[in-house]
Structure 1
Amino acid sequence: MRYKLSAPLQPKAVIELPASKSISNRALIIHALGRGTTVPANLSDCDDTRVMIQALTENHDVIDILAAGTAMRFLTAYLCVTPGTRVITGTARMQQRPIQILVNALRELGAQIEYAGNEGFPPLRITGGELNGQEVTLKGDVSSQYISALLMIGPVLKNGLTLHLTGEIISRPYINLTLQLMTDFGAKAEWISENCIRVAPHPYSDTAFRVESDWSAASYWYQIAALSSQSSIKLKGLFEKSYQGDSEEQRCLPNWASQRNLPTETSYSAKPVNIPNDWTKILSTYPT
């Protein structure tokens, strides 16, 4: 069977983009660490976020995050500073995914973590409490989710956190995203050198927060517009001053007009443009 696909010559649409999963998951952890009462708005409806919400609200002794890798990493750190003993587990495939780098770093801070199965892999048995450690060193090329998991618990640590990153840092945009969100919720966290971040022992505040739409999802519509002779596409829920690395699209493809809808929310309307040669700032959208 053969399928023929053809693009519309003059696409016209108003698109309700999905919320950013990266921002949603970080905002939920920060909100929980701050014991906030104002739940972040416009949360993602993806599996990772649904699992995160369930884990944070149901308070079970055994937390099954299924195949949600982000939830496994962020919740592992979160549980280390949350009173009580819990087991965090996942699917059979999740139990084959290494987590030793994060566990070792948390243990350096004083966390009580045991492997409930194979050494170096989930499930984990975690007894949460006050951590007295304040300094950790990681390689800069590890998963940014390990780094973000540690950073987000920094404000609630007795002595704060100093995080040293050695070698090349390959995921700086995601680290900066985490730091920006922490700051939005009242934390004091910043780069104090090219390879070192300091997080002060300063509690999060209860903050009204709206999750931005996902710039990665927006990239497909950018390309449709770029490949069309004429188009009118409005992308809703994007912020003019976005923390997402993929927001660099609006600078790589500059012929997009913006219209402010809310104090921070902007719609973008498209006109066809030439596709740029340099995509180094938005690598996650390069395949589109």
Structure 2
Amino acid sequence: MASDDLPGWLDAWCDAHLGARPVRVIFRWQRISTVFGVRLDDGRDVVVKARADDGRAGACVVAQKRLAERGFPCPRPLTPVLAVDGLAVHAEEFRPGGAPLAGDSPDVAARCAAVFARATAELAAVDVPPPLPNPRWVRWDHDGPGLWPPIGFLDERDQRAVPRYVVEAAGRVRVRLLATALPRVLGHADFEAQNLRWRDGRVWVVHDWDSLAWQPEAALVGAASGAFSSATPPTLAPIAASAAFLAAYQRHRGRRFTAEEQEVAWAAGLWPALHNARWEALHGDAPLSCGTVRAQAAERLRRANA
């Protein structure tokens, strides 16, 4: 199908790997990945995802496939990851419907934590190579020389625009997180409201399995506890809501975090907001994450013992 909305390789790719060609664009969305929703000439609606091939996608899609086979509410991959012109490409089923769960109250936090606990438990049974490097917004564990993970298009901007309180908090968080020797597990690292859809009071689908990470469980849960209410633009959940998320997660997992895990969770919950605050400052965006970091950092750092 000739369309300015689709790349030139997509027709032949769908024909070769799905046995049909696109006839209509349902949607096109671009952020880190480019995502195409298309109708094929055999009547199927599918989603094709393409992202820069950094070696992560293969393990992520295998894990997503295993979860779908186990009945977890996520789109079922229809192909493995395949290389196309330096891109990692795969197709998955189209699961429309449902709506985001709005709000950042402790009750909403607890409902989201139950889903995250189920996902983490299911991923514990999945054996794939660690999908490294971790997504950039949780990559506090990078091995670069500076505070922030190397991200060229951010690093080339004037770093003096980043507020001092953001840099200082990030330094304290990273020191605390790097000090832990907790074992690493597989987990969803972009657990935001925009990536979940709910129907009739139950979660209908969880998206964005490209964003799996390999980090301590407490760090993954902590990041989710801060980000669960985020849409576009992202923000940081209230402290009481994050506390409710952490408590509900432990309840559903059937164990209490150690003191160290509690500290790691609170530290990791702040890091994505610090990444977003840096992004805002370097792009001149409205200071939403900057504002929540300024308001919450002291208490979150205290709980993290950072």
Normalized against structure 1, the TM-score is what? 0.34
Give the greater-gyration-radius structure (CA).
1
**Larger RCO, structure (CA 8 Å, separation 6 or more):** 1
Task: Considering fraction of residues, name the structure with more helix.
Answer: 2
Task: Considering fraction of residues, name the structure with more strand.
Answer: 1
